[in-house]
Amino acid sequence: MKPGDDVNKRAELDRLRRQVAQLESDLAVGKGPSDWTPQGYYTTYHILAGMVLGLIAAAVSLIANVIGSAMFGKHPLELIRVYLTFPMGENALEMTSGFALAAGCCLYLATGMIGGIPFHMILSRYFDRSALAVRFAVATVLGLGVWIVNFYGVLSWLQPMLIGGNWIVEKVPWYVAAFTHLVFGWTMLAVDQWGRFVPPAYAAERTAA
C-alpha cells in the first residue's frame, strides 16, 4: 500500500466523522424543546382561565346573597329558590332543603363559569394596561349590562312564555339583582390577574431579577 493511499483514507475518514458529527448535531436540535409560546393573545388559555375565575366570582356573589338573605330574615338560598322557578315553577319557592336546592347552587356556579369567560377576556385583552379606575368602570358596566340583558331582555318574556309566570323578575328586587351582578363583576376584576398568561421566558426573567 502506498503512503499516499493512507493519507487519502485518513482525510476521507476525517471528512466522514465531521459529517456524522454534523448530522448528530442537527438531530439534537430537532429533538430540543420547541417555542410553543403564542405570538399574540392566547385565546384558549384565557377561555379556561375565565371559567375558573367565573366559578370563584359566582361563589363570592352567592355567599354575599346568603349573608344578605340571613340578615333580612329570609331563607339563605332565597336567590336559588327564585332562580329555580325557571324550570320548576312556583313550587320552587316553597323548598327549604333537598337535592334540588343543591343542584340549583351547582347550576348557579356553572352559569358563573360561563359568564366569567367574556368578563375575563374583555378585561385581559382590551383593558390589560388600563388604569384601575378604568378597569373598575368596565367591570361595573359589564355587571350591570349582564343584569339588564338577563332580567329585562330575556327572562322578563322567556319565563312567562315557557313556565307561565314571571317570578324571577318579580321576586328578586332590582337592587338585589343589580348588587349580585356587581359583586360578580367586581370579583372578576379582583382576581383577573390570577388568570393572566405569563410566557415562560418572561417568567424566568422576572424570577432572575
- What's the pLDDT score for residue 208? 47
- What's the pLDDT score for residue 120? 96
Using 70 as the pLDDT threshold, list the residues of the chain that sit under it.
1-7, 26-36, 199-209
Which residue bears the cell 385581559? Answer: 124
| 36 backbone dihedrals φ, ψ, rounded to 5° | -90, -5
Q: Residue 167 and residue 80: Cα distance in Å, rounded?
A: 12
- What's the pLDDT score for residue 31? 52
- What's the pLDDT score for residue 201? 52
- What's the pLDDT score for residue 29? 57
Q: What is the 3-state secondary structure (H, E, C) of the chain?
A: CCHHHHHHHHHHHHHHHHHHHHHHHHHHHHHCCCCCCCCCCCHHHHHHHHHHHHHHHHHHHHHHHHHHHHHCCCCCCHHHHHHCHHHHHHHHHHCCCCHHHHHHHHHHHHHHHHHHHHHHHHHHHHCCCCCHHHHHHHHHHHHHHHHHHHHHHHHHHHHHHHCCCCHHHHHCCHHHHHHHHHHHHHHHHHCHHHHCCCCHHHHHHHHHC
Crossing angle for the helix pair 132-148 and 99-126, nearest 10 degrees?
Answer: 140
Single pTM value for the model: 0.78
- What's the pLDDT score for residue 153? 94
Residue 201 to residues 17, 160, 197, 198, 204, Cα–Cα distance (Å) = 36, 55, 12, 8, 5
- What's the pLDDT score for residue 87? 86
- What's the pLDDT score for residue 169? 93
